[in-house]
Structure 1
Amino acid sequence: MGMKVLVIGSGAREHTIARTLLAGPSVDKVTVAPGNPGMLRDGILTTQLNPSNHAALIDFVKDNSYDWVIVGPEVPLIEGLVDDFTAAGISAFGPTRAAAQIEGSKDFAKQLMIRHNIPTARYRTFDDLDQAVRYVTEHGAPIVVKADGLAAGKGVTVAMSLDDAIRALDDIFIDHRFGAAGAKVVIEDYLEGQEFSLMSFVSGTDFWPMPVSQDHKRAYDGDEGPNTGGMGAYSPVPQIGEDVVRSAIDTIVRPTVQAMAEEGVPFTGILYAGLIATADGPKVIEFNARFGDPETEVVLPRLTSDLGAAIGAILDHGEPEFTWRDTGTTLGVVLASDGYPLNTVTGAHVPDIPVPDDGHVYYAGVRTESKGELASSSGRVLVLTVTGEDIADAQRLAYGALDRIPTPGLFYRHDIGAKALADSPVGRVT
């Protein structure tokens, strides 16, 4: 008998995790709490349990004899779900509440990096609007303004002008756009270079890096519009050389997991390093305490080994095996609701997408309509992921499918992967 696994979350990231688990021989059954109706199309079970209801989740795991749990989103991690599972004798893959601070507080992460000489932008932290405005006025633009806490990937403003910076501070301190996440603000120096994401499976001071990816944060083509949770991604990233990746592993990932262990908050789970390749080497923009979204949708499809067996081995303090596809490019395009991320309009019909060979649709914000069809229920609706021979081929496959169908009430970027085809380096990708 194979293992039974519970995945916590509801988006395309969790859909990808669940489908990848089921693709390996070690896992027979995956349930996602709460999941979404699009997952049912892949034989993935869902249960309408709220990730914040820890007691109900613990009872569900025990009553149904699940072998272990993986927590997808950041909020349940920050709320201590892994701690509660562990206290109940349940194996859970993800960081403790204390270790998840590396994402839950940008100030915590920056202080950790400064103490351990991990390369990152210079910064200051403020909890007062007037002091923050005075600092950015003296510093000048470009400058980066970040809400300290969780803001669903939308709490960062790369301000190219002083007006943009002050407007971002007003959003945080006066309009309270990010609620409690904006009680403090981290203001960073602007860094020049291309961004990339490096995720690693981590167990204490041991870690196993994944292929790098690059996501597209801005809502519209050409990196225009507001920041989103991510409008698409691709992997690998040809303009980020192997030497840069090796340097990032040696100067950022390894010292970070060692620092967490040394400071009494050892990390188990997925450490996501959002990095930028500067002229002075790779530097940290942010850390996340879980799989990225939409990066997961283009990285996990490149896994050729058994994900369930590997995570099971990590939870048993054994040695996991990871093998990855070393040819081709995997590219994902997000289909989002009109108005996302500022004034999202939901309820649009979600069409069936003609998926190319070696491609898949991972569902996120969908609900069931009459006759079993799907409608949009939140900002990001689905991700179409394809694998082609190279970037250009993957773009041809993805857009060849999307451009053939009407998408009223929905939109997508038409330039995912374009930076890999540019003849010259471009600036910061946010």
Structure 2
Amino acid sequence: MAGHNFLFVSMDAALITDLAWQIHEEGHDVKYYIEADSDGEIGDGFVPKTDDWRAEIEWADVIIFDDIWVGDDIGTGELAQDLRERGKAVVGGTPNTDRLEADREYAMEVLEDHGVNTVEHHVFHDFAAGIHHVEEHPAPYVIKPLGEVQNVKRLLYVGNEDDGSDVVDVLRAYEKAWGHRMKGFQLQRKVEGVEIAICGFFDGERFIDRVNFNFEHKKLFPGNIGPSTGEMGTSMFWAGQNRLFQETFGKLEDWLAAEGYVGSIDLNCIVNETGIYPLEFTPRFGYPTIALQEESLESSTAEFFYDLAHGDDPDPSVHGGYQIAVRIVLPPFPFDDEKTYDENSRNAAVVFETASRDGIHIEDAKRVDGQWRVAGENGMPLVVTGKGDTMQAAREQAYGRIDDIVVPNLYYRDDIGERWIAGDGDRLLAWGYLGP
């Protein structure tokens, strides 16, 4: 593949550094723009930067947006749509696909309008009304904040009590502590089963044949306890357009084509013996999922995204087994505490005990005079991946690689992939979801 020019754009936090680095390492010209001043040093020494992404538009053969957010507002979908109308090849969304993540009620309406099954859900803009609903219809619910505060991951609450009493208590506490910022929330009836995310890559007209199925691990501690984070790790595999795909994204293909969407789109679901119940969309790259997807591509990453952006029938070769990614974090992640970060994590050196960097992916990292160091403000320097013919083999490779990394005060979950081994895979197979 001849060299091409790739422009990466982070209109909020710097998230897409690793993909930019991978494509740069494959020999292509890359420029990376980061809007947030606090993240400006992320990627230094790994990828070339630009201070003015608009000045690079004509230079770029492909423009890639990493998220839907422009500061505190959604907006990259509008930017991507405008660029496509100017004839540019863009990986990114549209105003309507941005809404799938930012407006949970709209997302459910899109699913229902296209014949996709949904779980019972209600949106409230008043805490008293939400509390009254739970008291009138007692059951376990999931609280999902709406709007800007939905990015405060620890506010998502999964109820445990059959009468909903714990949900009522949490809503009352949220009203006192967050009522000035939480302008609305969705109550979603809790469904038991296997949580699985269906991830497809859309080229503006259709999904590619290969579908990514992944399992998020959002809680901070092993055993899925502690505060919610963006994500502590992912296990996954690739398959064809099976029943899980056909009953969800298969029904949305025409809608996405009408939108002109290009890129990764993910639908997190609960699956059990009675059906598939979508929970929420991620109409963008997932993190750290994209690092794991890169690792599992056995053909050129740059060629895949070039073909995807141009609608040139992308046909990537992917690893046929299982893969896991483990996020390496530092204090005070997932919380914000500048003093703790300054004392424990800022500019910390990342030391490798081997020469190999296989399976090592960067998030909040920089390279200074050849030394890898922690960058930014969030304490998420690395993602470490592994793959194998079985989930256990993938786990052994990933955690073996982590053993060769030295960063003072690092921590991570040591159970990524265990849910699959403990029975999730068997249940999905028994319920008939993992056919060809």
TM-score normalised by structure 1 residue count: 0.82
Render the CA deviation track for 1:291-323: whole Å, top value 9, x for unaligned: 111111212211122333333334333322222
The residue that corresponds to 1:152 in the other structure is 151
The residue that corresponds to 1:342 in the other structure is 335
The residue that corresponds to 2:415 in the other structure is 415
8 Å CA contact 2:43–2:367 kept in 1: the answer is no
- Structure 1 residue corresponding to 2:49, chosen from 46, 65, 75: 46
Structural mapping, 1:382-397, within 5 Å: 382-397=382-397
Q: Mark the CA change 1:423 to 1:314 in structure 2 (over 3 Å): closer, same or farther.
A: closer
Between 1:356-365 and 1:416-425, the stretch displaced more is: 356-365
**Identical residues among aligned pairs (%):** 20
The residue that corresponds to 1:331 in the other structure is 324
- Following TM superposition, by how much is the alpha carbon of 1:176 offset from its aligned partner in structure 2, in angstroms? 2.9
8 Å CA contact 1:16–1:300 kept in 2: the answer is no
Distance 1:337 1:46 in 2: 25
Q: Mark the CA change 1:419 to 1:355 in structure 2 (over 3 Å): closer, same or farther.
A: farther
Distance 1:61 1:292 in 2: 25
Between 1:267-276 and 1:118-127, the stretch displaced more is: 267-276
8 Å CA contact 1:36–1:365 kept in 2: the answer is no
The residue that corresponds to 1:105 in the other structure is 103
Between 1:296-305 and 1:384-393, the stretch displaced more is: 384-393
The yes-or-no answer on 1:169 pairing with 2:163 is: no
The yes-or-no answer on 1:58 pairing with 2:61 is: no
Distance 1:333 1:385 in 2: 6
For 2:255, give the aligned amino acid: A
The residue that corresponds to 1:53 in the other structure is none
For 1:257, give the aligned amino acid: E
For 1:67, give the aligned amino acid: D
* Aligned pairs, number: 405
- Following TM superposition, by how much is the alpha carbon of 1:121 offset from its aligned partner in structure 2, in angstroms? 1.2
Distance 2:180 2:214 in 1: 27
For 1:384, give the aligned amino acid: V
Render the CA deviation track for 1:142-201: whole Å, top value 9, x for unaligned: 21111123533715321213354235434654433894xx32211111111122222211
Distance 1:396 1:178 in 2: 46
Q: Mark the CA change 1:388 to 1:325 in structure 2 (over 3 Å): closer, same or farther.
A: closer
8 Å CA contact 1:196–1:275 kept in 2: the answer is yes
TM-score normalised by structure 2 residue count: 0.81
8 Å CA contact 2:43–2:366 kept in 1: the answer is no
- Following TM superposition, by how much is the alpha carbon of 1:28 offset from its aligned partner in structure 2, in angstroms? 1.5
Residue ranges of structure 2 left out of the alignment (5+ in a row): 428-436
The yes-or-no answer on 1:15 pairing with 2:1 is: no
- Following TM superposition, by how much is the alpha carbon of 1:386 offset from its aligned partner in structure 2, in angstroms? 2.4
Structural mapping, 1:218-367, within 5 Å: 218-236=219-237, 246-261=242-257, 265-327=259-321, 329-344=322-337, 345-347=340-342, 348=345, 349-354=348-353, 359-366=358-365
8 Å CA contact 1:194–1:276 kept in 2: the answer is yes
Distance 1:174 1:13 in 2: 32
- Following TM superposition, by how much is the alpha carbon of 1:29 offset from its aligned partner in structure 2, in angstroms? 1.3
Distance 2:290 2:274 in 1: 28
The residue that corresponds to 1:189 in the other structure is 189
Q: Give the root-mean-square deviation of aligned CA atoms.
A: 3.2
Distance 2:383 2:309 in 1: 30
Distance 1:359 1:194 in 2: 31
8 Å CA contact 1:205–1:254 kept in 2: the answer is no
- Following TM superposition, by how much is the alpha carbon of 1:139 offset from its aligned partner in structure 2, in angstroms? 2.9
Q: Mark the CA change 1:371 to 1:147 in structure 2 (over 3 Å): closer, same or farther.
A: same
8 Å CA contact 2:7–2:56 kept in 1: the answer is no
Distance 2:403 2:308 in 1: 42
The yes-or-no answer on 1:75 pairing with 2:69 is: yes
SS of 1:166 mapped into structure 2: helix
For 1:413, give the aligned amino acid: R
SS of 2:187 mapped into structure 1: strand
- Following TM superposition, by how much is the alpha carbon of 1:107 offset from its aligned partner in structure 2, in angstroms? 1.1
Q: Mark the CA change 1:212 to 1:204 in structure 2 (over 3 Å): closer, same or farther.
A: same
For 1:176, give the aligned amino acid: W
8 Å CA contact 1:36–1:364 kept in 2: the answer is no
- Following TM superposition, by how much is the alpha carbon of 1:338 offset from its aligned partner in structure 2, in angstroms? 2.3
SS of 2:5 mapped into structure 1: strand
The residue that corresponds to 2:6 in the other structure is 5
8 Å CA contact 1:247–1:281 kept in 2: the answer is no
8 Å CA contact 1:356–1:397 kept in 2: the answer is no
For 1:380, give the aligned amino acid: M
Distance 1:178 1:421 in 2: 43
Q: Mark the CA change 1:17 to 1:406 in structure 2 (over 3 Å): closer, same or farther.
A: closer
